[in-house]
Amino acid sequence: MQKIAVVGSLNMDCVIETPAMPKAGETIAGRSVAQVPGGKGANQAYAIAKLGGDVQMIGAVGTDSCGIILKKNLECVGVRTEGLAVLEGESTGQAFITVDDQGENSIIIIAGTNGLVSKEMIEENRHLIEESDIVIMQLEIPLEVVEYVKELAIELGKLVIVDPAPAVEGIPDHFWKGIDFIKPNETELAILAGQEKNGLEDLKEGAEQMLNKGVKNVLVSMGGEGCLLVNKKEARFFPAHKVKPVDTTAAGDCFTAGFALALSQGKTCEEAIAFGQKASAIAVTRKGAQTSIPTIEEVESC
């Protein structure tokens, strides 16, 4: 099995359950509130480890209670945390997540120590990237750091996967050059490609724009519909497993983790997509981020 390095964010999620998303100026009664370990980077590392992978987390937390909990939570499933900086006197990242009765969510992120991840930290942990075969990143740490890691990983001959969330407009074209896989959802792809998302053909067109910027493969997650793989050879749709969603938080992270894990085990791209879909289909039937991640036994049995 190949080794995986996840370079990215760790957040303590404050999850609020509510019947519906409040409109502008509206006050509504929620049902519950809870703190759940999260952050896209940590979610992906946690899921890879829980599914049986060999994974290292590179990022930063504070010395506050949230940072201590997040680090221990990763370690309890076998994530290696040698590359996790603990910054004295700094606040760990947080995310405030609202989940409605349909299982849909909206998220506000406070960067905290995620915004302090630097090129110097990456150089201190360069050996961890050198030892890995697959490098996964997101956009919840500074963009220039993500690009720095990308260039380093490509130089070292690693497989590079970028989950471009949260997506922002105006990312320079050179940022995308050489990335093996990006995994946006429909909304994120529309932002990155500067277009409206109206249907499958629009998604294909947006994906082709990203290919023209130098990405090798675009894997678009489409929620309960499935996902779309686009590269220079083909555009192929993979229907999703039909389940009743309870909470979609971290579903995309679970898919990315399952996909990367399967690739690390020598599976084909198509087999890796199928495995990621199975894992994320289970995750959406459970509440929370890392609390929703299934075991390898659960995925293999469905």
Residue carrying the six token digits 């080794």? 3
| Residue 236 to residue 219: CA distance in whole angstroms | 10
| Residue 170 to residue 158: CA distance in whole angstroms | 26
| Residue 267 to residue 261: CA distance in whole angstroms | 9
* Residue 167 DSSP class: -
* Residue 81 DSSP class: -
64 catalytic? Reply is no
DSSP 192-238: HHTS---SHHHHHHHHHHHHHTT-SEEEEE-GGGEEEEEESS-EEEE
| Residue 48 to residue 42: CA distance in whole angstroms | 10
Is the CB of residue 204 less than 8 Å from the CB of residue 229?
A: no
Find the Cα–Cα–Cα–Cα dihedral 114, 50, 230, 204, rounded to 10°. -70
Strands of the chain, DSSP E: 3-7, 11-17, 32-38, 54-62, 84-87, 93-99, 105-110, 134-138, 159-163, 181-182, 217-221, 226-231, 235-239
Which of helix, strand or coil describes residue 240? Answer: coil
Q: In what order do the strands lie in the sheet with 235-239?
A: 84-87, 54-62, 3-7, 134-138, 159-163, 181-182, 217-221, 226-231, 235-239
The Cα angle at residue 269 between residues 75 and 155, in degrees rounded to 5: 70
Alpha carbon separation from 174 to 76, 113, 151, 161 (Å, rounded): 38, 26, 11, 16
Q: What amino acid positions are annotated as catalytic residues?
A: 253
